[in-house]
Structure formats: structure tokens, C-alpha cells
């Protein structure tokens, strides 16, 4: 089974100029293997995704052509390159998929750490409140006020 994460940068790229090309690239990203390769012909890609063959073929032509507007200059800005230039049925390699996987991994790690710290702070804060409440259980309001004053340095 394959899982493809799509980075939001796709909406800011020249691929976004044609939503059908973007759709095919997104489908290819989802179907790519762990080596970032889509090992199927255009016809099979069309059948698998339900995108008409003419649209897949046009998108493959656009994605495999040089793109001077591409931020990635590898392979002259091409988004995909043929796995075997002599065999049009071999499939394609998605050029910058590995880069975006690493980028997403860093973003996921940052998000994970943010959530971890928030949870840890929440547990610490809740633990402190619970301990303070337990320490003051069975006291009068005046005794609780005095304890708080003493804790914060406002002794009477």
C-alpha cells in the first residue's frame, strides 16, 4: 500500500496553473513507491485513477518537460523523469518527492514536539493545582488565604 503526502507548496508552483496537471501529479505522488517511482504506463495510471487517458498523457508531457519557473532546478525543472527512456510503459520517477518527504518529516517532528511540550506543561500545571488543593483540603477560607499569602511572600 502506498501513502503520499502532498505539500501545500504545490498550490504556489507553476503546476497549479493547470488543475488537471496538478491532479495527475497528486495522483502520481499517492501511487509512488518508497523510491518515489510510479511504475505504470499512462494507460494504467488512467485506469487506476479514473482520469481520462488524454488528460494523463497531456499532464505527463507537461510534468516531464523543462519548466523554467520551477523552484527546483534539478532536471531543468521537470517534475517527473522516465524510469526508462526507451520504454514508455516503465513509468516515472517523481523528482522532488524525496525533498518534500524530508520537509514534511521536519514539520511533523516540530508539530509533535509542540504538542508534547503542551501536554507536559498541562500535566505539570494540573499536578501542581491538584497538590495545592490537596494540601489545603479541610481548611477554612481564611486559612487558605493565609497559606496563599505566605506562599507568595505576603505574610501578615
Output the pLDDT for position 102: 64
- pLDDT tens digits for 4-23? 666 666 666 777 788 899 89
Output the pLDDT for position 71: 75
Output the pLDDT for position 118: 83
- pLDDT tens digits for 81-129? 999 999 989 999 988 876 666 666 666 667 777 777 888 777 766 655 5
The backbone region for 91, taken as left when phi is positive above 0, alpha when psi lies in -120 to 50, beta otherwise, is left
Taking the CB of residue 115, how many other CB atoms lie within 10 A of it?
10
Measure Cα distances from 107 to 29, 73, 94, 103, 128 in Å. 19, 23, 21, 6, 32
Measure Cα distances from 48 to 5, 41, 52, 56, 147 in Å. 18, 10, 10, 11, 70
Output the pLDDT for position 134: 62
Amino acid at each position: 500500500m502506498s501513502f503520499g503526502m502532498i505539500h501545500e507548496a504545490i498550490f504556489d508552483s507553476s503546476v497549479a496553473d493547470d488543475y488537471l496537471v496538478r491532479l495527475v501529479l497528486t495522483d502520481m505522488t499517492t501511487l509512488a513507491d518508497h523510491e518515489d517511482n510510479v511504475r505504470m504506463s499512462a494507460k494504467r495510471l488512467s485506469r487506476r485513477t479514473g482520469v481520462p487517458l488524454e488528460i494523463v498523457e497531456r499532464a505527463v508531457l507537461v510534468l516531464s518537460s523543462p519548466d523554467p519557473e520551477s523552484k527546483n532546478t534539478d532536471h531543468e525543472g521537470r517534475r517527473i523523469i522516465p524510469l526508462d527512456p526507451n520504454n514508455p510503459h516503465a513509468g516515472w520517477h517523481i523528482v522532488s518527492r524525496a525533498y518534500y518527504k524530508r520537509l514534511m518529516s521536519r514539520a511533523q517532528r516540530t508539530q509533535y514536539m509542540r504538542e508534547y511540550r503542551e501536554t507536559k506543561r498541562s500535566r505539570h500545571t494540573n499536578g501542581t493545582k491538584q497538590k495545592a488543593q490537596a494540601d489545603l483540603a479541610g481548611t477554612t477560607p481564611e486559612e487558605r488565604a493565609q497559606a496563599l499569602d505566605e506562599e507568595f511572600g505576603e505574610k501578615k
